[in-house]
Structure 1
Amino acid sequence: MEQTIAWPRVAIVLKGYPRLSETFIAQEILGLKQLGLKLTLVSLRLPTDEREHPVHGEIAEVPNYLPEYLYTDPLRVFRAWRIARKLPFYAEAKRQFLRDWRRDPTPNRGRRFGQALVLAAEMPADVGLIYVHFLHTPGSVARYAGRMLGLPFAVSAHAKDIWTLQDWEKREKLADCAFLVTCTAANAEHLQALAPDPARVGLVYHGLDFGRFPPPDDGAPDDGDRDGRDRDGRDPARPVKLLTVGRLVDKKGYRGLFDALALLPAGCHWRLDIIGGGPLKAELKARAKALGLADRITFLGAMAQAEILERYRTADIFPLNCRVSDDGDRDGLPNVLMEAQSQRLLCVSTRVSAIPELIIDGETGLLVPPNDPEAFAAALSRAIADPALRRRLAEAGLDRVTRHFGYAAGVKTIFRRIGETLGRRA
């Protein structure tokens, strides 16, 4: 039930909206709106996904889409500049941009300032705070626009935006922002070390909305073959069902996952379904074929939430072979692991970022070092051959995720910090 509060409006700046891969952001926006926050959405990019999750419809807000590339709408950018240059702090924002440009003289940097001109010129008059998801490009747009308007900006930082950004830029944004929240303890520790005031950085797990991911109906651990989860890989007619969900990008570790699957014994029968699209699809299909796995792996593409939920409930094991990419990009705490655990599904993953904050090896799932196909294969082999182990760890995973990783507490923390910021400004 939504309520109303007397605070000024908050402009929430997003890299792209709506996005299937970022429903955790939409979940947060909906939670803030239900708590009574007046908001307006701004997106740096037009949507590219063909589908939406139900949460986007519930938010029921149409974003202001900034020009992704300035040359696509030069008149809009020029009109924005004519308005923005008359703002009281425009000269200060321009000096800030030029300082950044000298250290990062790239077209992307110039585009950020152009988008900030449009954001500042078109900002609703009743906005009192700019709250941005992702510290890198969106963070720069929000920072420049906030400086022009004399508005505070706050940040929710996640993964790639932290670990691929240079330290000088992180330090300066941390010095300027009203507050920053991030979704893993590893992220928080790193950013607190760079912040002039470590208290400005807070840990807020995204968490899961259990109303959207209720536990399976039976409410009890599997015993026997009620839903087929006694499969142990020995019967070729009843292969163990593996499921993974995630964009086809390097940090998800699909190459290493395929290498691990190729190491499983010939008499071990399994099938893998992959939900998600991305730039590595052609390469991964070729790799599966070269390893002799093509007939066991199915690429399903993007799916709606209800379809994914059903897939969780009929799978046996959820492998997610996360890694740190060569450019430093990595996952924070993948929501799909929490989703899988909420459906009493055993997760096999790696010790990357905050995954060990969720999964305790040997207690609530199985963890191995990243970039180690042999170790991943050994963990998969153990899980495939032992249905009782799967049931025990999956039940413990469900208990842990429901006790410690609900989303409501995090949304309330962000809501409180927004209120404190708006109160200080008033």
Structure 2
Amino acid sequence: MKLAYLAPEIPALSATFVYNEILALSELGHEIIPFSVHKPIMPATDKHLDALRSKVNYLYATPKKHVFFSHLNLLSKKPIHYLKAFTECVGDMFKVNILSRDALGLFYRFFYAAKLAQQLKDNAIQHLHVHFAHVPTDIAMYASMMSGISFSVTAHANDIFERGLLLDKKVERSSFFATISDFNRQYIQQTYQVDPNKLEIIRCGVDSRVFTRKSSTTVSSPVRIGLVGRLVEKKGIDTLISALAILKSQYSDFIVEIAGSGPLQEELQQQVKRLELNDKVVFLGPLPHDQVVKFVRALDLFVLPCKRDKQGDMDGIPVVLMEAMMVGTAVISSRISGIPELVIDEKTGKLIEPGNSEQLAAAMLELIKGEALRGALISHAEKKVQQEFAQDINAKRLETLFAESIGNQ
């Protein structure tokens, strides 16, 4: 198949699952043309991405006069398709309040959709797949109408819980609408009253050839605790730091490494200083994805105590949890969103209530001291990821859905 992929940023350090999915489908023999709304603010720099990076089309970097000519071209060659897209866009603008910023945003994205539609036609694309149900899906659904080429979506977290503009329409217009967890699927169905037959679950997968199991589960001295993630509220890193102060009073032989950057870095560093944990916590900054496997394999505990932020956003199922589980590092996370579908408490990891630092400290201590429990959790965790969250399994599921979408056009 000849497919196009669209995401907010390709290849981005914060969305490795997008380019890994593209690479997995390419390995299955399909040709993928990647489109990105923006140039990545924090690009993934792995050398094996050079070929992909050279093929990416950045929509918002296209000169506006070129986009305008795409509109003229589509209007002259596919007037019915073009006018349908324009009519739907105007209708959508009225639905969200024609005088609102949302309406203006929709029209702006309709403008760039013409460039995408033109590229889809010029490249003989059979189907367009989109990651994230907000801005890129706005562009994709209008480009699909203009070009007559089907599109589908994978929704994740923020794009559902906080930025679900016209989500019911997006489900209706797509050939299928996937999301990464059963939690998300139920939330979409109940909140937006959409056709459940349109909804699919496609996990963000992990490449088991890269994230291979380490040989030993014995803890280090000092015990190495860590995480990889953006330094934002929903990751719950403040909960971890508070838990470390409690843990230190009961067990002091540990070191914590936090890999990532973000707006809360200074605030979190101040929290570490205030709780007198400077000798225990190290902020490593952003970590290239090709170094993540080495980092998570070296840890004894991977701790990501996710929570809902003040805007209502929360993680879906963080891929880095799967990566840690795949290499044989014990994980602790929170009972929130789709995480319990991956981290099953007392079976594939430990779960705490979001924001509960006392529970987190107790869970860390239990896994540090409980060698038998830690070994059992690691073994079950690896099997869980291999069976349900492996990249090749989910790429083949997408392959089937894409073929059906193309056949139904």
TM-score (norm 2): 0.90
Structure 1 residue 400: deviation in Å?
A: 2.6
Which residue pairs with 1:74 in the alignment? Answer: 64
Which one of 37, 57, 65 corresponds to residue 44 of structure 1? Answer: 37
Structure 1 residue 150: deviation in Å?
A: 2.1
Q: 1:289-326 deviations in whole A, cap 9, x for unaligned?
A: 22222332111122233422222222111100111222
Structure 1 residue 327: deviation in Å?
A: 2.0
8 Å contact from structure 1 (residues 80, 122) kept in 2: no
| Equivalent pairs, count | 399
Is 1:101 matched up with 2:93? yes
8 Å contact from structure 1 (residues 130, 152) kept in 2: yes
* Alignment partners' CA distance in 2, 1:110 and 1:99: 11
Compared CA separation, residues 122 and 305, structure 1 to 2 (3 A) = closer
* Alignment partners' CA distance in 2, 1:198 and 1:54: 41
Structure 1 residue 349: deviation in Å?
A: 0.6
Compared CA separation, residues 63 and 230, structure 1 to 2 (3 A) = closer
* Alignment partners' CA distance in 2, 1:267 and 1:351: 25
Structure 1 residue 212: deviation in Å?
A: 1.0
Is 1:246 matched up with 2:229? yes
Q: Which ranges of structure 1 fall in alignment gaps of 5 or more residues?
A: 1-6, 223-228, 232-237
8 Å contact from structure 1 (residues 26, 55) kept in 2: no
Partner-residue secondary structure (3-state), 1:273: strand
Compared CA separation, residues 359 and 196, structure 1 to 2 (3 A) = closer
Q: Which ranges of structure 2 fall in alignment gaps of 5 or more residues?
A: none
Compared CA separation, residues 10 and 402, structure 1 to 2 (3 A) = closer
Structure 1 residue 17: deviation in Å?
A: 0.6
Which residue pairs with 2:246 in the alignment? Answer: 263
Partner letter of residue 226 of structure 2? Answer: L
Which one of 389, 393, 403 corresponds to residue 419 of structure 1? Answer: 403
Compared CA separation, residues 398 and 80, structure 1 to 2 (3 A) = same
Compared CA separation, residues 306 and 75, structure 1 to 2 (3 A) = closer
Which one of 1, 20, 23 corresponds to residue 27 of structure 1? Answer: 20
Counterparts of 1:11-410 in structure 2, within 5 Å, are: 11-49=4-42, 51-53=44-46, 56-57=49-50, 59=52, 62-67=55-60, 73-86=63-76, 87-88=78-79, 89-102=81-94, 103=96, 105-106=100-101, 107-125=104-122, 126-166=124-164, 169-193=166-190, 194=192, 196-216=194-214, 218=215, 221-222=216-217, 229-231=218-220, 238-269=221-252, 270-410=254-394
Q: 1:61-117 deviations in whole A, cap 9, x for unaligned?
A: 51111116xxx8433343333334434222222222222223152153343222213
Structure 1 residue 240: deviation in Å?
A: 1.6
Percent pairwise identity:
32
Partner letter of residue 74 of structure 1? Answer: K
RMSD: 2.2
8 Å contact from structure 2 (residues 188, 194) kept in 1: no
* Alignment partners' CA distance in 2, 1:95 and 1:318: 50
Structure 1 residue 183: deviation in Å?
A: 1.1
Q: 1:10-43 deviations in whole A, cap 9, x for unaligned?
A: 2211110111222212121112122222221111
